[in-house]
Chains A and B, each alone.
Chain A
Protein backbone atom coordinates (compact mmCIF):
# COMPACT_ATOMS: atom_id res chain seq x y z
CA UNK A 1 0.00 0.00 0.00
CA UNK A 2 1.28 3.47 -0.83
CA UNK A 3 1.77 6.26 1.68
CA UNK A 4 -1.33 7.66 3.33
CA UNK A 5 -2.15 11.20 2.20
CA UNK A 6 -4.59 13.86 3.36
CA UNK A 7 -7.12 13.04 0.67
CA UNK A 8 -7.38 9.31 1.46
CA UNK A 9 -10.63 8.06 2.97
CA UNK A 10 -10.14 5.48 5.73
CA UNK A 11 -12.75 2.78 6.24
CA UNK A 12 -13.08 -0.57 7.98
CA UNK A 13 -12.93 -3.70 5.85
CA UNK A 14 -16.05 -5.83 6.21
CA UNK A 15 -14.26 -8.30 8.48
CA UNK A 16 -13.43 -5.58 11.02
CA UNK A 17 -16.04 -4.08 13.30
CA UNK A 18 -15.69 -1.30 15.86
CA UNK A 19 -18.00 -2.30 18.69
CA UNK A 20 -18.73 -1.39 22.28
CA UNK A 21 -17.48 -4.06 24.71
CA UNK A 22 -20.09 -3.36 27.36
CA UNK A 23 -18.93 -6.05 29.78
CA UNK A 24 -15.58 -4.31 30.09
CA UNK A 25 -16.65 -0.70 29.55
CA UNK A 26 -14.58 -0.02 26.46
CA UNK A 27 -14.62 -0.12 22.66
CA UNK A 28 -12.75 -2.72 20.62
CA UNK A 29 -12.01 -3.65 17.03
CA UNK A 30 -13.34 -7.13 16.39
CA UNK A 31 -11.29 -8.79 13.64
CA UNK A 32 -10.66 -12.37 12.49
CA UNK A 33 -9.22 -14.26 15.50
CA UNK A 34 -8.27 -10.93 17.08
CA UNK A 35 -9.63 -8.31 19.43
CA UNK A 36 -7.77 -5.01 19.35
CA UNK A 37 -8.21 -2.41 22.08
CA UNK A 38 -7.59 1.17 20.92
CA UNK A 39 -6.49 3.77 23.44
CA UNK A 40 -8.62 6.91 23.91
CA UNK A 41 -6.89 8.91 21.20
CA UNK A 42 -7.04 6.09 18.69
CA UNK A 43 -10.69 5.47 19.50
CA UNK A 44 -11.59 9.07 18.80
CA UNK A 45 -9.98 8.80 15.38
CA UNK A 46 -11.64 5.45 14.68
CA UNK A 47 -15.08 6.87 15.48
CA UNK A 48 -14.48 9.43 12.74
CA UNK A 49 -13.62 6.76 10.14
CA UNK A 50 -17.07 6.60 8.57
CA UNK A 51 -15.99 5.77 5.02
CA UNK A 52 -16.76 9.31 3.88
CA UNK A 53 -14.42 11.65 5.74
CA UNK A 54 -10.95 12.13 4.30
CA UNK A 55 -7.88 12.17 6.54
CA UNK A 56 -8.00 15.96 6.31
CA UNK A 57 -11.64 16.09 7.33
CA UNK A 58 -10.89 13.90 10.36
CA UNK A 59 -8.04 16.24 11.32
CA UNK A 60 -10.31 19.25 11.00
CA UNK A 61 -12.86 17.76 13.39
CA UNK A 62 -10.18 16.95 15.94
CA UNK A 63 -8.49 20.33 15.51
CA UNK A 64 -11.74 22.13 16.31
CA UNK A 65 -12.45 19.81 19.21
CA UNK A 66 -9.07 20.43 20.81
CA UNK A 67 -8.39 23.92 19.52
CA UNK A 68 -5.16 22.74 17.89
CA UNK A 69 -3.55 23.14 14.49
CA UNK A 70 -4.64 20.45 12.00
CA UNK A 71 -1.03 20.02 10.87
CA UNK A 72 0.12 18.85 14.31
CA UNK A 73 -2.77 16.42 14.55
CA UNK A 74 -2.25 15.11 11.03
CA UNK A 75 1.00 13.30 11.83
CA UNK A 76 -0.64 11.39 14.68
CA UNK A 77 -3.68 10.51 12.62
CA UNK A 78 -1.60 9.23 9.71
CA UNK A 79 0.67 7.29 12.03
CA UNK A 80 -2.30 5.53 13.61
CA UNK A 81 -3.98 4.78 10.29
CA UNK A 82 -0.73 3.44 8.88
CA UNK A 83 -0.29 1.14 11.88
CA UNK A 84 -3.83 -0.16 11.51
CA UNK A 85 -3.58 -0.47 7.73
CA UNK A 86 -0.43 -2.58 8.11
CA UNK A 87 -2.42 -4.94 10.31
CA UNK A 88 -5.33 -5.03 7.86
CA UNK A 89 -7.65 -3.32 10.36
CA UNK A 90 -8.43 -0.29 8.21
CA UNK A 91 -8.31 0.27 4.48
CA UNK A 92 -7.91 3.51 2.55
CA UNK A 93 -9.33 4.61 -0.73
CA UNK A 94 -8.96 7.74 -2.80
CA UNK A 95 -11.74 10.31 -2.30
CA UNK A 96 -14.90 9.95 -4.41
Chain B
Protein backbone atom coordinates (compact mmCIF):
# COMPACT_ATOMS: atom_id res chain seq x y z
CA UNK B 1 0.00 0.00 0.00
CA UNK B 2 3.02 2.25 -0.19
CA UNK B 3 5.37 3.09 -2.98
CA UNK B 4 8.66 4.87 -3.22
CA UNK B 5 8.49 8.21 -4.94
CA UNK B 6 7.67 8.34 -8.59
CA UNK B 7 7.07 11.77 -9.98
CA UNK B 8 5.68 12.56 -13.44
CA UNK B 9 8.22 11.60 -16.08
CA UNK B 10 9.16 13.94 -18.86
CA UNK B 11 8.15 13.17 -22.42
CA UNK B 12 11.01 11.66 -24.37
CA UNK B 13 13.20 14.20 -26.22
CA UNK B 14 10.88 17.08 -25.39
CA UNK B 15 11.78 20.02 -23.24
CA UNK B 16 12.49 18.46 -19.84
CA UNK B 17 9.72 18.81 -17.32
CA UNK B 18 11.60 20.13 -14.34
CA UNK B 19 10.65 18.36 -11.16
CA UNK B 20 11.24 19.64 -7.67
CA UNK B 21 14.31 18.31 -5.86
CA UNK B 22 13.76 15.99 -2.91
CA UNK B 23 17.12 16.24 -1.22
CA UNK B 24 19.80 18.85 -0.63
CA UNK B 25 23.36 17.98 0.37
CA UNK B 26 24.71 20.91 2.37
CA UNK B 27 28.50 20.72 2.43
CA UNK B 28 28.89 23.10 5.34
CA UNK B 29 32.68 23.04 5.33
CA UNK B 30 35.66 21.27 3.83
CA UNK B 31 37.51 21.33 7.16
CA UNK B 32 37.95 17.83 8.59
CA UNK B 33 40.45 16.20 10.92
CA UNK B 34 40.35 13.02 8.83
CA UNK B 35 42.34 12.70 5.61
CA UNK B 36 40.64 9.75 3.87
CA UNK B 37 42.22 9.09 0.47
CA UNK B 38 38.79 8.54 -1.13
CA UNK B 39 37.18 11.72 0.19
CA UNK B 40 34.28 12.91 -1.98
CA UNK B 41 35.33 16.54 -1.60
CA UNK B 42 37.06 18.14 -4.60
CA UNK B 43 40.85 18.20 -4.89
CA UNK B 44 40.70 21.97 -4.45
CA UNK B 45 39.26 22.40 -0.98
CA UNK B 46 37.49 25.57 0.16
CA UNK B 47 39.10 27.28 3.16
CA UNK B 48 37.16 28.40 6.25
CA UNK B 49 37.23 32.09 5.29
CA UNK B 50 35.15 31.43 2.18
CA UNK B 51 32.41 29.40 3.91
CA UNK B 52 28.81 30.64 3.86
CA UNK B 53 27.65 32.23 7.11
CA UNK B 54 24.78 31.03 9.28
CA UNK B 55 22.18 33.41 7.86
CA UNK B 56 22.95 32.44 4.27
CA UNK B 57 22.64 28.73 5.02
CA UNK B 58 19.34 29.39 6.79
CA UNK B 59 18.06 31.29 3.75
CA UNK B 60 19.18 28.39 1.53
CA UNK B 61 17.16 26.00 3.70
CA UNK B 62 14.10 28.28 3.49
CA UNK B 63 14.41 28.38 -0.30
CA UNK B 64 14.96 24.63 -0.45
CA UNK B 65 11.81 23.99 1.56
CA UNK B 66 9.79 26.31 -0.70
CA UNK B 67 11.21 24.48 -3.73
CA UNK B 68 9.98 21.12 -2.44
CA UNK B 69 13.11 19.72 -0.78
CA UNK B 70 12.17 17.29 2.00
CA UNK B 71 15.56 16.21 3.33
CA UNK B 72 18.68 18.17 4.19
CA UNK B 73 21.93 16.21 4.47
CA UNK B 74 24.37 18.17 6.61
CA UNK B 75 27.79 17.13 5.48
CA UNK B 76 31.31 18.36 4.89
CA UNK B 77 34.20 17.96 5.42
CA UNK B 78 33.27 17.45 9.00
CA UNK B 79 30.05 19.39 9.65
CA UNK B 80 30.50 19.40 13.43
CA UNK B 81 33.44 21.82 13.10
CA UNK B 82 30.75 24.44 12.41
CA UNK B 83 29.79 25.97 15.73
CA UNK B 84 26.46 27.02 14.26
CA UNK B 85 25.45 23.44 13.38
CA UNK B 86 22.76 23.36 16.07
CA UNK B 87 21.30 26.64 14.81
CA UNK B 88 21.22 25.24 11.28
CA UNK B 89 19.54 22.01 12.38
CA UNK B 90 16.99 23.96 14.43
CA UNK B 91 16.19 26.23 11.50
CA UNK B 92 15.75 23.34 9.07
CA UNK B 93 13.70 21.25 11.49
CA UNK B 94 11.41 24.21 12.22
CA UNK B 95 10.52 24.26 8.51
CA UNK B 96 9.64 20.58 8.57
CA UNK B 97 12.83 19.55 6.78
CA UNK B 98 14.25 16.15 7.68
CA UNK B 99 17.81 16.64 8.90
CA UNK B 100 20.52 14.03 8.44
CA UNK B 101 23.98 14.63 9.92
CA UNK B 102 26.77 12.96 7.94
CA UNK B 103 29.76 12.91 10.26
CA UNK B 104 32.97 11.10 11.17
CA UNK B 105 31.77 11.40 14.77
CA UNK B 106 35.23 12.19 16.13
CA UNK B 107 34.27 15.65 17.44
CA UNK B 108 30.96 14.62 19.05
CA UNK B 109 30.66 14.61 22.82
CA UNK B 110 27.66 14.17 25.09
CA UNK B 111 26.82 17.88 25.28
CA UNK B 112 26.98 18.29 21.51
CA UNK B 113 24.77 15.27 20.88
CA UNK B 114 22.25 16.57 23.41
CA UNK B 115 22.23 20.00 21.76
CA UNK B 116 21.72 18.50 18.29
CA UNK B 117 18.97 16.29 19.64
CA UNK B 118 17.23 19.27 21.21
CA UNK B 119 17.56 21.15 17.91
CA UNK B 120 15.51 18.42 16.21
CA UNK B 121 18.11 16.35 14.40
CA UNK B 122 16.40 13.45 12.60
CA UNK B 123 19.19 11.02 11.91
CA UNK B 124 22.96 10.55 12.20
CA UNK B 125 25.32 8.79 9.83
CA UNK B 126 28.79 7.92 11.15
CA UNK B 127 31.55 6.70 8.86
CA UNK B 128 33.95 3.90 9.73
CA UNK B 129 37.15 3.18 7.80
CA UNK B 130 37.67 -0.41 8.94
CA UNK B 131 36.69 -2.85 11.68
CA UNK B 132 39.95 -2.57 13.61
CA UNK B 133 41.51 0.60 14.96
CA UNK B 134 45.03 0.21 13.54
CA UNK B 135 43.92 -0.15 9.94
CA UNK B 136 41.01 2.30 10.29
CA UNK B 137 43.27 5.02 11.67
CA UNK B 138 45.87 4.42 8.95
CA UNK B 139 43.23 4.71 6.19
CA UNK B 140 41.70 7.84 7.76
CA UNK B 141 45.12 9.39 8.37
CA UNK B 142 43.83 10.19 11.86
CA UNK B 143 43.48 8.25 15.11
CA UNK B 144 39.70 8.50 15.39
CA UNK B 145 38.32 4.96 15.33
CA UNK B 146 37.76 4.65 19.08
CA UNK B 147 36.08 8.07 19.19
CA UNK B 148 33.65 7.02 16.46
CA UNK B 149 32.53 4.05 18.53
CA UNK B 150 32.02 6.33 21.52
CA UNK B 151 30.09 8.83 19.35
CA UNK B 152 27.78 6.04 18.17
CA UNK B 153 27.11 5.13 21.80
CA UNK B 154 26.19 8.75 22.60
CA UNK B 155 23.88 8.97 19.59
CA UNK B 156 22.17 5.74 20.61
CA UNK B 157 21.85 6.87 24.23
CA UNK B 158 20.11 10.02 23.00
CA UNK B 159 17.66 7.86 21.04
CA UNK B 160 18.67 9.23 17.64
CA UNK B 161 18.58 6.78 14.72
CA UNK B 162 22.01 5.80 13.40
CA UNK B 163 23.38 4.64 10.07
CA UNK B 164 26.96 3.43 9.78
CA UNK B 165 28.67 4.22 6.49
CA UNK B 166 31.49 1.85 5.57
CA UNK B 167 33.49 2.73 2.47
CA UNK B 168 35.13 -0.47 1.25
CA UNK B 169 38.15 -1.09 -0.99
CA UNK B 170 41.05 -3.50 -1.48
CA UNK B 171 42.67 -2.55 1.86
CA UNK B 172 39.71 -3.34 4.12
CA UNK B 173 37.39 -5.68 2.22
CA UNK B 174 38.69 -8.80 3.93
CA UNK B 175 37.17 -7.45 7.16
CA UNK B 176 33.74 -6.61 5.70
CA UNK B 177 32.00 -9.16 7.91
CA UNK B 178 33.63 -7.58 10.97
CA UNK B 179 32.60 -4.10 9.80
CA UNK B 180 28.98 -5.23 9.54
CA UNK B 181 29.25 -6.76 13.02
CA UNK B 182 30.76 -3.51 14.31
CA UNK B 183 27.85 -1.51 12.86
CA UNK B 184 25.46 -3.80 14.68
CA UNK B 185 27.43 -3.44 17.92
CA UNK B 186 27.39 0.35 17.45
CA UNK B 187 23.58 0.22 17.54
CA UNK B 188 23.01 1.13 13.89
CA UNK B 189 19.66 0.37 12.30
CA UNK B 190 21.24 0.60 8.88
CA UNK B 191 24.67 0.22 7.29
CA UNK B 192 25.75 1.48 3.91
CA UNK B 193 28.45 -0.72 2.45
CA UNK B 194 29.77 1.51 -0.30
CA UNK B 195 32.52 0.54 -2.67
CA UNK B 196 34.70 3.54 -3.47
CA UNK B 197 33.51 5.59 -6.44
CA UNK B 198 36.46 6.93 -8.40
CA UNK B 199 36.36 10.72 -8.70
CA UNK B 200 38.58 13.38 -7.20
CA UNK B 201 40.71 12.03 -4.34
CA UNK B 202 39.61 8.46 -4.95
CA UNK B 203 40.58 8.65 -8.62
CA UNK B 204 44.01 9.90 -7.57
CA UNK B 205 44.26 6.90 -5.21
CA UNK B 206 42.56 4.38 -7.45
CA UNK B 207 45.47 1.92 -7.65
CA UNK B 208 45.66 1.84 -3.85
CA UNK B 209 41.93 1.23 -3.48
CA UNK B 210 40.45 -0.75 -6.34
CA UNK B 211 39.58 -4.36 -5.46
CA UNK B 212 40.06 -7.41 -7.63
CA UNK B 213 36.96 -8.98 -9.13
CA UNK B 214 37.45 -11.88 -6.68
CA UNK B 215 37.41 -9.46 -3.73
CA UNK B 216 34.26 -7.84 -5.11
CA UNK B 217 32.49 -11.16 -5.53
CA UNK B 218 33.45 -12.22 -2.00
CA UNK B 219 32.13 -8.90 -0.66
CA UNK B 220 28.83 -9.30 -2.49
CA UNK B 221 28.44 -12.80 -1.05
CA UNK B 222 29.25 -11.47 2.44
CA UNK B 223 26.58 -8.78 2.09
CA UNK B 224 23.97 -11.27 0.88
CA UNK B 225 24.66 -13.64 3.76
CA UNK B 226 24.56 -10.81 6.29
CA UNK B 227 21.29 -9.51 4.86
CA UNK B 228 19.68 -12.89 5.38
CA UNK B 229 21.13 -13.21 8.90
CA UNK B 230 20.27 -9.69 10.05
CA UNK B 231 16.85 -9.17 8.41
CA UNK B 232 14.67 -7.00 10.62
CA UNK B 233 17.65 -5.94 12.79
CA UNK B 234 20.11 -4.22 10.45
CA UNK B 235 19.30 -2.93 6.96
CA UNK B 236 22.23 -3.22 4.57
CA UNK B 237 22.45 -0.90 1.57
CA UNK B 238 25.13 -1.91 -0.90
CA UNK B 239 26.81 0.23 -3.55
CA UNK B 240 28.83 -1.75 -6.10
CA UNK B 241 31.85 -0.38 -7.95
CA UNK B 242 31.18 0.84 -11.47
CA UNK B 243 34.40 -0.57 -12.86
CA UNK B 244 33.11 -4.12 -12.70
CA UNK B 245 29.51 -3.31 -13.63
CA UNK B 246 27.82 -3.96 -16.97
CA UNK B 247 25.18 -1.29 -16.48
CA UNK B 248 25.83 2.24 -15.24
CA UNK B 249 24.29 3.49 -12.01
CA UNK B 250 21.49 6.05 -12.14
CA UNK B 251 23.86 8.66 -10.76
CA UNK B 252 21.99 11.12 -8.49
CA UNK B 253 18.78 9.50 -9.86
CA UNK B 254 19.38 11.64 -12.95
CA UNK B 255 21.18 14.95 -13.39
CA UNK B 256 19.16 17.88 -12.04
CA UNK B 257 16.23 15.64 -11.26
CA UNK B 258 16.04 14.86 -7.53
CA UNK B 259 19.09 16.29 -5.76
CA UNK B 260 21.22 19.34 -5.45
CA UNK B 261 24.43 20.04 -3.63
CA UNK B 262 25.59 23.32 -2.09
CA UNK B 263 29.34 23.70 -1.55
CA UNK B 264 30.88 25.45 1.48
CA UNK B 265 31.26 28.66 -0.51
CA UNK B 266 27.72 28.50 -1.92
CA UNK B 267 28.05 27.04 -5.39
CA UNK B 268 25.05 24.91 -6.34
CA UNK B 269 25.95 21.64 -8.06
CA UNK B 270 23.91 18.81 -9.56
CA UNK B 271 26.24 16.39 -7.76
CA UNK B 272 29.17 16.69 -5.37
CA UNK B 273 31.75 15.87 -8.06
CA UNK B 274 30.31 18.14 -10.77
CA UNK B 275 33.08 20.72 -10.38
CA UNK B 276 35.45 18.23 -12.02
CA UNK B 277 33.69 19.04 -15.32
CA UNK B 278 35.66 22.05 -16.54
CA UNK B 279 33.21 23.71 -18.95
CA UNK B 280 30.31 23.98 -16.55
CA UNK B 281 29.53 27.25 -14.79
CA UNK B 282 27.99 26.91 -11.34
CA UNK B 283 25.77 29.61 -9.91
CA UNK B 284 26.12 30.66 -6.29
CA UNK B 285 23.47 31.15 -3.65
CA UNK B 286 25.29 34.40 -2.87
CA UNK B 287 23.97 35.81 -6.17
CA UNK B 288 20.88 33.81 -7.10
CA UNK B 289 17.89 32.14 -5.50
CA UNK B 290 17.92 28.37 -5.23
CA UNK B 291 14.76 27.91 -7.35
CA UNK B 292 16.18 30.03 -10.15
CA UNK B 293 19.44 28.05 -10.14
CA UNK B 294 17.61 24.72 -10.09
CA UNK B 295 15.29 25.70 -12.94
CA UNK B 296 17.44 27.89 -15.16
CA UNK B 297 21.07 27.29 -14.14
CA UNK B 298 23.24 26.33 -17.11
CA UNK B 299 24.96 23.54 -15.18
CA UNK B 300 21.63 21.97 -14.19
CA UNK B 301 20.31 22.07 -17.74
CA UNK B 302 23.52 20.78 -19.33
CA UNK B 303 22.66 17.11 -18.74
CA UNK B 304 19.06 17.23 -17.59
CA UNK B 305 16.67 14.82 -19.27
CA UNK B 306 17.71 12.83 -22.33
CA UNK B 307 18.10 15.34 -25.18
CA UNK B 308 21.84 15.83 -24.51
CA UNK B 309 22.59 12.13 -24.92
CA UNK B 310 24.76 10.73 -27.70
CA UNK B 311 24.12 7.32 -29.23
CA UNK B 312 23.88 4.57 -28.05
CA UNK B 313 22.28 6.26 -25.00
CA UNK B 314 19.71 8.37 -26.85
CA UNK B 315 17.86 5.38 -28.27
CA UNK B 316 18.61 3.03 -25.37
CA UNK B 317 15.55 1.65 -23.63
CA UNK B 318 17.26 2.29 -20.29
CA UNK B 319 17.76 6.02 -20.93
CA UNK B 320 15.15 6.90 -18.32
CA UNK B 321 16.29 4.16 -15.97
CA UNK B 322 19.92 5.13 -15.49
CA UNK B 323 19.68 8.62 -17.07
CA UNK B 324 22.99 8.08 -18.84
CA UNK B 325 24.94 7.09 -15.75
CA UNK B 326 27.63 9.38 -14.40
CA UNK B 327 28.84 12.50 -16.23
CA UNK B 328 31.85 13.01 -13.98
CA UNK B 329 33.04 9.50 -14.67
CA UNK B 330 32.54 9.94 -18.40
CA UNK B 331 34.70 13.03 -18.23
CA UNK B 332 37.37 11.50 -16.01
CA UNK B 333 37.81 8.42 -18.17
CA UNK B 334 37.09 9.63 -21.72
CA UNK B 335 37.78 13.37 -21.53
CA UNK B 336 34.20 14.10 -22.64
CA UNK B 337 31.50 14.70 -20.03
CA UNK B 338 28.76 13.97 -22.60
CA UNK B 339 30.20 10.59 -23.61
CA UNK B 340 28.51 7.31 -22.75
CA UNK B 341 29.45 6.34 -19.19
CA UNK B 342 32.31 3.80 -19.57
CA UNK B 343 30.68 1.74 -16.81
CA UNK B 344 28.09 0.77 -19.42
CA UNK B 345 28.79 -2.37 -21.43
CA UNK B 346 27.66 -0.48 -24.54
CA UNK B 347 30.39 2.17 -24.17
CA UNK B 348 33.35 1.88 -26.54
CA UNK B 349 35.58 2.53 -23.51
CA UNK B 350 34.11 -0.18 -21.31
CA UNK B 351 36.77 -2.82 -21.98
CA UNK B 352 39.58 -0.35 -21.33
CA UNK B 353 37.96 0.52 -17.99
CA UNK B 354 37.78 -3.11 -17.00
CA UNK B 355 41.42 -3.64 -18.08
CA UNK B 356 42.59 -0.74 -15.88
CA UNK B 357 40.70 -2.20 -12.92
CA UNK B 358 42.21 -5.63 -13.40
CA UNK B 359 45.76 -4.35 -13.90
CA UNK B 360 45.74 -1.95 -10.94
CA UNK B 361 44.00 -4.32 -8.55
CA UNK B 362 46.54 -7.10 -9.16
CA UNK B 363 49.60 -4.84 -8.76
CA UNK B 364 50.95 -4.06 -5.26
CA UNK B 365 49.05 -1.03 -3.85
CA UNK B 366 50.96 2.26 -3.83
CA UNK B 367 50.91 4.46 -0.71
CA UNK B 368 47.95 6.77 -0.14
CA UNK B 369 47.86 10.37 -1.31
CA UNK B 370 45.92 11.67 1.69
CA UNK B 371 43.28 14.36 1.31
CA UNK B 372 44.33 17.80 2.47
CA UNK B 373 44.54 21.50 1.81
CA UNK B 374 47.46 22.52 -0.41
CA UNK B 375 50.53 23.51 1.58
| Partner-B contacts on A (CB < 8 A) | 1, 13-15, 17, 19-21, 23-24, 28-30, 32-39, 41-42, 76, 79-80, 83-84, 86, 88
Q: What are the 9 closest A-B residue pairs judged by CB atoms, nearest first? A: A15-B161, A23-B68, A30-B98, A42-B1, A32-B123, A80-B1, A15-B123, A38-B2, A23-B20
CA distance A83 to B232 in the complex (A): 12
**Does A14 contact B189, Cβ atoms closer than 8 Å?**
no
Q: Judging by beta carbons under 8 Å apart, are A33 and B163 in contact? A: yes
Judged by DSSP, the binding face of A is mixed
Q: How far is the CA of A29 from the CA of B22 in the complex (A)?
A: 13
Residue ID in chain A nearest B1 by CB atoms: A42
The complex places the Cα of A15 from the Cα of B86 at a distance, in Å, of 17
Contact B1 A15, beta carbon cutoff 8 Å: no
User: Are A32 and B163 touching (Cβ within 8 A)?
Assistant: yes
Contact B159 A35 (CB under 8 A): no
Q: Within 8 Å of chain A (Cβ to Cβ): is B160? A: yes
CB distance from A52 to the nearest CB of B (A): 19
Considering the chains assembled together, what is the distance between the CA atoms of A83 and B1 in angstroms? 8
- CB neighbours (8 Å) of B100 from chain A are 32-33
Chain B residues close to A by CB (< 8 Å): 1-5, 7, 20, 22, 66-68, 70-71, 96, 98, 100, 122-123, 125, 159-161, 163, 189-190, 232, 235, 237
Quick check: B4 and A37 within 8 Å, CB to CB? yes
New A-B contacts (14) at CB < 8 Å, excluding given A21-B68, A83-B1, A88-B190:
A1-B232, A14-B122, A15-B160, A21-B70, A24-B68, A30-B71, A32-B125, A32-B161, A33-B71, A33-B237, A35-B4, A41-B1, A42-B2, A86-B232
Contact, CB under 8 Å: B1 / A35: no
Q: Which residues of B contact A1 (CB under 8 A)?
A: 232
Beyond A19-B96, A21-B68, A24-B68, whether A30 also contacts B5 by CB under 8 A is no
Contact status of A37 and B3, CB under 8 A, knowing A1-B232, A86-B232? yes
Please determine whether A35 and B190 come into contact, CB atoms closer than 8 angstroms: no
User: How far is it, in angstroms, between the C-alpha of A76 and the C-alpha of B1 when the chains are bound?
Assistant: 9
On whether the beta carbons of B161 and A13 are closer than 8 Å, the reply is: yes
Which B residue's beta carbon lies closest to that of A40? B1
Total number of A-B contacts with CB less than 8 angstroms?
79
8 contacts between A and B (CB under 8 A): A13-B161, A14-B159, A14-B161, A30-B71, A33-B100, A39-B3, A83-B1, A88-B189
Q: How far is the CA of A21 from the CA of B22 in the complex (A)?
A: 10
A20 CA to B100 CA in the complex, in Å?
18
Residues of A contacting B98 in the complex (Cβ-Cβ under 8 angstroms): 17, 19, 30
Q: With the chains together, A36 CA to B98 CA distance in Å?
A: 13
A36 to B70, CA, bound (A): 11
Q: How far is the CA of A88 from the CA of B237 in the complex (A)?
A: 14
A32 vs B191: C-alpha distance when bound (angstroms): 11
Q: Chain B CB within 10 Å — which of A30, A34, A42 has the most?
A: A30
Who on chain B is nearest to A76 by CB? Answer: B1
CB distance from A14 to the nearest CB of B (A): 6
Separation of A37 and B4 alpha carbons in the complex (Å):
6
A28 to B125, CA, bound (A): 22
Asked if B20 contacts A24 (CB within 8 A), the reply is: yes
The answer to whether A88 touches B235 (Cβ under 8 A) is yes
**Residues of chain A lying within 8 A (CB to CB) of residue B159:** 14
Give complex CA distance A59, B235 in Å: 30
How far does the alpha carbon of A80 sit from the alpha carbon of B67 in the complex, in Å?
31
**Cα-based distance from A33 to B189 in the complex (angstroms):** 12
In the bound complex, how far is the Cα of B160 from the Cα of A30, in angstroms?
15
Q: Which chain B residues border A34 with CB–CB below 8 Å? A: 4
Shortest beta-carbon distance, B197 to chain A, in Å? 16
B20 pairs with A14, CB closer than 8 A = no
Q: Assess the B163–A35 pair: CB atoms within 8 A.
A: no
A88 to B57, CA, bound (A): 31
Task: State A2–B96 Cα separation when bound (angstroms).
Answer: 33
**Complex: how many Å from CA A30 to CA B97?**
9
With A1-B232, A14-B161, A21-B70 in contact, do A30 and B122 touch (Cβ < 8 Å)?
yes
- Most interface-central of A13, A32, A34 (chain B CB within 10 A): A32
